[in-house]
Amino acid sequence: MPTPQSLCLINNHFVPADSGNTFPVTDPATDKAIASVPDCGSAETWRAIEAAAAALPEWRTRPAPARARVLRTMGDLMLRDQDRLAAIMTAEQGKPLAEARGEIAYAASFLFFSAGEAERVYGQTVPASASDKRILVLKQPVGVAAAITPWNFPSAMITRKLGPALAAGCTIVIKPAEATPLSAFAIGEIAIEAGVPAGVVNIITGDPATIGREIFRHDAVRKVSFTGSTEVGKILMDQAANRIVKLSLELGGHAPFIVFDDADLDKAVAGLMANKFRNAGQTCICSNRVFVHERVFAEFAQRLRAQVAALKVGPGTHDGVQIGPLIDDAAVEKVASHVANAKSKGAKVTVGGDLVKVPDHANRFFAPTLIEDANPEMKCFSEETFGPVVPMMKFSTEREAIDLANDTPFGLAAYFYTSNASRLIRIAEALDYGVVGANDAAPSTAQAPFGGTKESGLGREGGHWGVEEYLETKYVSWGV
Ligand code: SIN
């Protein structure tokens, strides 16, 4: 991998922390440092926000087609550099190279879609109740936006925020996860090459609490978009209250995956495999609880067992690997503790269940695991595991499946398989989730509204809904 950019981006300059302090970025597969990045604090955050505020007047008034062109160029450059960006991602995040390449294309799709949306930010006129009045509804950029992004999708979760923000005419300050800043800086380089003016995109790394505090303190920041844990989301909501900052929160999930007795089992197994084991199970929308109708349970479990056992585990850079390392030791501990807890409650672990030793690598590789008799008393059925573990349970009636699926404070994504059209719409309506996959386990796409209900968050990303989050609605009452 060529040496990646490892400095923060403020006002189109790559800069170190004022103190010169850095923190290491490690490869999760080896636990070895691959770079050090600036450990910034209040002063640098403040400067990044000031740069974004200074760039705002020109960017927000630049004609939409010109803003769209910049976004399209960024997308083109990401695809041009797909292999290089994927290599950076795999080095700092661990996911298999093929998945990393896929994520770069997914990340670029948010830029392309946002470019189109930039040109479709329509206002409205509304018939007034007096003949000497007109009602105009204007859509205007909210102001400086801040994006706080996670390590599990180091590029796509940035462009999913940056794209709509710039399309709306906002400028942005991005704080990537401490584990994966290099993918963010690479996007910064691409932004400059694409012609993004100074101050429109700024990227800053350092202590999350300090950077977060400054983001919510500075008057110019009018919008914060966060993807991460529900725990942190609640803290941000508290901080946002002080200045009533507009918030989008994409938080934890606990996705149910329901297989009815009339489902196409081949499709259901393929859907679960792709959905559950993407990114080694470290996604907010991957299935965390699998409910299978008692009539097809044995057949489904048998097919699944063979496929789970066949998954290839190893470093993301090795050919054919499907399951890379977990991000850090804490992640390994959590996954292991969920499996241990299930075993202590009598669970039958039919595949995996433990770490896989990879010579000369860190102890971060967890075997794809199947638990065939899970129940709601087990941690894996009440908390997000964020790892390659499939806990399954039988159900008998439709009502029981719906109740089990909705019995959680989370509401991000849910999936079910059935070949009955009436049941399909009934279940889709009954599931209390923001994203529902009906005979589909890969719902993520740039055009659709992505986001959760209940403690899984606020707001939607993607489609015109994603751009709407960065716009204010202004009503002009015009006396004529
Ligand atoms: C996430 O897990 O947070 C996002 C997954 C996706 O966009 O598909």
d(C-alpha 441, C-alpha 276), whole Å: 9
- Which tens digits make up the pLDDT trace of 346-364? 999 999 999 999 999 999 9
Catalytic residues: 250, 284
CA of 151 to the centre of ligand 1 (A): 11
From 99, 284, 410, the mutation candidate for ligand 1 (largest count of ligand atoms within 8 A of CB) is: 284
Half-sphere exposure of 469 (CA within 13 A, CB side): 31
pLDDT band at 450 (very low <50, low <70, confident <90, very high): very high
**Residue 153 CB–ligand 1 contact under 6 Å:** yes
**Residue 249 CB–ligand 1 contact under 6 Å:** no
Q: What is the mean pLDDT of residues 218-240?
A: 97
CA of 183 to the centre of ligand 1 (A): 16
CA of 283 to the centre of ligand 1 (A): 6
Provide the pLDDT for residue 2: 72
CA of 164 to the centre of ligand 1 (A): 17
Q: What is the mean pLDDT of residues 420-445?
A: 98
pLDDT band at 44 (very low <50, low <70, confident <90, very high): very high
From 285, 327, 410, the mutation candidate for ligand 1 (largest count of ligand atoms within 8 A of CB) is: 285
CA of 37 to the centre of ligand 1 (A): 25
Q: Which residue has the tokens 């269940």?
A: 353
Provide the pLDDT for residue 203: 98
d(C-alpha 143, C-alpha 400), whole Å: 47
Is the pLDDT at 1 greater than 90? The verdict is: no
Q: Round the CA-based radius of gyration of the chain to a whole number and report it.
A: 23
Provide the pLDDT for residue 228: 97
From 282, 287, 444, 456, the mutation candidate for ligand 1 (largest count of ligand atoms within 8 A of CB) is: 444
CA of 450 to the centre of ligand 1 (A): 9
Question: Taking the complete model, does pTM exceed 0.85, yes or no?
Answer: yes
**Residue 283 CB–ligand 1 contact under 6 Å:** yes
**Residue 433 CB–ligand 1 contact under 6 Å:** no
Q: What is the mean pLDDT of residues 220-234?
A: 97
- Which tens digits make up the pLDDT trace of 311-350? 999 999 999 999 999 999 999 999 999 999 999 999 999 9
Q: How much of the chain exceeds pLDDT 90, in percent?
A: 99
Contact 371, 392 (CB under 8 A): yes
Specify the ligand 1 atom closest to the Cα of 150: 3
Is the pLDDT at 391 greater than 80? The verdict is: yes
Q: What is the mean pLDDT of residues 166-188?
A: 98
Q: How far apart are the first and last CA of the chain?
A: 64
Is the pLDDT at 234 greater than 80? The verdict is: yes
Is the pLDDT at 80 greater than 90? The verdict is: yes
Is the pLDDT at 14 greater than 90? The verdict is: yes
Mean pLDDT of all residues belonging to the chain: 97
- Which tens digits make up the pLDDT trace of 101-160? 999 999 999 999 999 999 999 999 999 999 999 999 999 999 999 999 999 999 999 999
Contact 216, 240 (CB under 8 A): yes
Instruction: Write out the two tokens for 187.
Output: 């996007």
**Residue 227 CB–ligand 1 contact under 6 Å:** yes
**Residue 444 CB–ligand 1 contact under 6 Å:** yes
Provide the pLDDT for residue 166: 98
Rounded to 5 degrees, what angle do the CA atoms 397, 399, 400 make?
Answer: 65
Instruction: Write out the two tokens for 313.
Output: 């585990």
- Which tens digits make up the pLDDT trace of 262-315? 999 999 999 999 999 999 999 999 999 999 999 999 999 999 999 999 999 999
Provide the pLDDT for residue 100: 98
Closest-CA residue, ligand 1 atom 8, reads: 444
CA of 273 to the centre of ligand 1 (A): 16
Specify the ligand 1 atom closest to the Cα of 285: 2
Q: What is the mean pLDDT of residues 74-85?
A: 98
- Which tens digits make up the pLDDT trace of 107-116? 999 999 999 9
d(C-alpha 87, C-alpha 315), whole Å: 12
Closest-CA residue, ligand 1 atom 3, reads: 284
Q: How much of the chain exceeds pLDDT 70, in percent?
A: 100
d(C-alpha 465, C-alpha 463), whole Å: 5
d(C-alpha 402, C-alpha 451), whole Å: 20
**Residue 285 CB–ligand 1 contact under 6 Å:** yes
d(C-alpha 469, C-alpha 161), whole Å: 10
**Residue 155 CB–ligand 1 contact under 6 Å:** no
Closest-CA residue, ligand 1 atom 7, reads: 444
